[in-house]
Every structure is written in C-alpha cells, then in structure tokens.
Amino acid sequence: MSRRIFDIIEFIDEKKEEIVHRFPERGSGDFRIGSQLIVRESQTAIFFRDGKALDAFGPGRHTITTANVPFLADLIGKAFSGQSPFTAEVYFVTTRELQDMKWGTPQPITIRDPELGMARVTGYGKYAIQITDPQLFVAKVVGTQNLYSTRDIEGFFRSIILTKITDLIGEMKKSIIDLAAFVEELSAGVRAKAAEEFASRGVTLNSLYIDSISPTEETAKAIDARAAMGAIGNMQAYMQYQSAQAIRDAAQNPGAGGQGMNLATGIALGGAAGQMLGQSMQQQQQMAQAPAAPPPLPQAASFHVAIGGQQAGPYDMATLQQYVQSGQITRDTLVWKAGMATWTKAGEVADLSSLFGAVPPPLPPK
C-alpha cells in the first residue's frame, strides 16, 4: 500500500481551544517539495522531526521549497532531491492570548502552619498566557516533555503553578487563619515565581489570580477548636467587664435605692468569684498540661525533586504522596535528600517505596 502524501497542510481551530495541534494527528506525515502550507492568523506552524523543532512559518500561504525549510533540508539531506516525499510532523501553535485558563488543587496541599502545626488547604483560580516563542515552545514542551494534546499541556502548566503556590505559602510563614488577607500578595508572588518557568518554554504568563484558598473541613474544625480555647482563656476579662457594667447600671438607677446597690454588690461579688474561678481553672489547665506536654516530634524526612527539568522542594512525605497520586512524580523522577551521594530515581529510594504501592509500574517495552 502506497503512502499518503499531503499536498495541503493546514489546521482550522473552529472552537479556538487548541494550544497546539499536531498534523497529522497520529504518526508522521509524508510531504514533498511543492506542498502547500496554510497558516492562519494567530498561528505559527513548526516543522518537527527527530525530536527537534526546525523551520517556522507565520500566517500566510506557503509553498514548500528547499529554500524556506533550510533546517529540515539540512537534517534529511538527499530526501529533498527532485520531488521525493519527506517525513516530518507539523505543529500548529496558537499565538493569541489564552485567557480564563483554570488551575486548582487536585488534592489538598499540606503546609506547615505557625499556629496549627500542620494544615491542609485547597485553592483554585485562573491565569492567562501567550506563546511568544513558538519554536522554543515546541522544542521544550513537545520535544522534551513529550506533550502533544492541549489537555496534557494545560496539566503541565497547572503543575508548575501549584508547585510555586506550595513553595510560596511555606516561605510566607503565615497561618491559614490569616492567609485569606494576603491573597493579592500571594497571587503576585506566584506569578513572579512561575513567570521564569513559563518563559524558559517560550510562554509569557500575562496574569494569574487566586480566586479562593481555604482550609479543608478537618483544618476548619481545628481552627474552631482553637478559637473556643481562646475564648475560655479570656474568661477573667469577660467576668470583670460584666461586673463593671452591672455596677454602672446600678449607679445610674437611684430610684432603686438600696436594692440597686445590693444588686450591684452581689454582681460585683459574683464577678470576683468568677475571677477566682477563672484563675483556678487557668491554673488547673496549666498544671494538667505541664506534665502531659509531649517531646518534640522527630524531624521528618524531606526530599528535593526534579520536576520539568527544574529542582523543587524540599517536600515532606505527605506532599510527595499528593504528587505521586497526581502523576507529577513517578518511579523514574529524580530525588535527593541530605545524606544521599547523588540524585536517585524515586522508585529506588527505600524511604519512598511505600508511596508507589497503589501506583502500577510502567508497562514493559514491546
């Protein structure tokens, strides 16, 4: 069966949802000198072969010649003699701004909280990007990361954003109780941190917003419990306030005579008793808590991780578990911690073996 040779190369993004489109969608295509390449507005077409992004074409109708595909011609040489077909792929990359792109935490993020000890939070928001260097984008994302579909590429971008959010929350050392007041600063910080990662792949991060960052149900219960304990701790001040209010009200009601004063005196005595009770309760709590105070927790192991060719972390075991479940960390991901001689695959580190118990290994090669 003879191979199909494509004389017309084009892609129409009717829904305007594609970040990159591969032509043909599966395998490589056969093209020849004289084939017509049609590139529409807000598109760039990149010839791709052997893992390399080669010649780029902007909007317009182009006739393929050895002159306008010099990199491809140099790579495959004699295949261009006469009208011989050559094999390659063409990636149509959108250059328009992609707005209202979503990000969110697939699982709660575990953070160290200065008031609660540990806390788990969820968040979501949106961001806008624009591919400003399509050739670099295809080389880094398609060639290096082996990501072809828009869905996979969006997932890759989200993983970068979530990594930066986790790192920045740790650096801010703010409690989740106060974090909502710093959403604007957090958004700006994450954008600044992530911008370099995006730029290294030919992408400009135009904006990033955090619409919500909130504690999980379990963390919210811990916050409520802490607030209740705080109210008990202020019982003495509360009783003093109540006594002062009662005395003032009695003094402003002379018609009540001695009854009013007796009432005020009784309330004052009650306030004093309440004060003594509050002090007694506080002392008992302190005495009960003193011998029961646990020793400091042992230092948990934390690892640095190589994600997308960049070093990230260190992350504790709970965070690493989340990344394993979301597919961002696999058995082949390189990790390192203090005491290790060199970077090692996560699947070969004994401390991490339990993280992959529910994750199947890669299929054996055919």
Q: Is residue 227 part of a domain?
A: no
* Per-residue pLDDT tens digits of the chain, which is 366 residues long: 445 678 899 998 887 878 999 888 887 788 888 889 999 999 999 998 887 888 899 999 999 887 878 877 776 665 555 445 778 889 999 999 998 899 998 888 888 888 878 888 888 999 999 999 999 999 888 877 777 778 888 999 999 999 999 888 888 888 887 887 888 999 999 999 999 999 999 999 999 999 988 888 887 787 777 666 554 455 454 455 456 556 666 666 665 545 544 544 444 444 454 555 455 555 555 554 555 556 665 566 788 888 877 888 888 888 888 888 877 888 888 988 887 888 888 888 888 877 887 555 666 666
Q: Which of 220, 244, 262 is the last residue of a domain?
A: 220
pLDDT for the residue 269: 47
Residue 183 sits in the same domain as residue 249: no
How many Cβ atoms are within 10 Å of 327's Cβ, its own excluded? Answer: 11
Q: Which of 189, 220, 251 is the last residue of a domain?
A: 220
Q: Is residue 298 part of a domain?
A: no
Q: Which of 42, 67, 94 is the last residue of a domain?
A: 94
Q: Is residue 145 part of a domain?
A: yes
Residue 137 sits in the same domain as residue 72: no
pLDDT for the residue 146: 75
Residue 87 sits in the same domain as residue 104: no
Residue 71 sits in the same domain as residue 151: no
| CATH code at position 350 | 3.30.1490
The set of long-range contacts for 333-341, using a CB threshold of 8 Å and a minimum separation of 24, is 333/305, 333/306, 333/307, 334/305, 334/306, 335/303, 335/304, 335/305, 335/306, 336/303, 336/304, 337/301, 337/302, 337/303, 337/304
Q: Is residue 253 part of a domain?
A: yes
Q: Is residue 132 part of a domain?
A: yes
Residue 90 sits in the same domain as residue 102: no
Residue 185 sits in the same domain as residue 273: no
Q: Is residue 120 part of a domain?
A: yes
Residue 102 sits in the same domain as residue 168: yes
Residue 201 sits in the same domain as residue 283: no
Residue 109 sits in the same domain as residue 54: no
Residue 66: what residue type? T
Total domains in the fold of the chain: 4
Residue 120 sits in the same domain as residue 79: no
Q: Is residue 155 part of a domain?
A: yes
Domain with 274 in it: 234-289
**Going by DSSP bridges, is the β-strand pair 36-39/8-9 parallel, antiparallel, or unpaired?**
parallel
| CATH code at position 189 | 3.30.479.30
State how far the Cα of 334 lies from the Cα of 328, in Å rounded to an integer: 12
Strand partners, 56: 46
Q: HSE-up of 186 (CA within 13 Å, CB side)?
A: 28
- Tokens at 115, concatenated: 């008031």
Q: Is residue 352 part of a domain?
A: yes
Vertex 113 angle, CA 337 and 237, to 5°: 155
Residue 87 sits in the same domain as residue 149: no
Residue 196 sits in the same domain as residue 266: no
Asked if residue 137 lies in contact with residue 203, where contact means CB atoms within 8 angstroms, the answer is yes
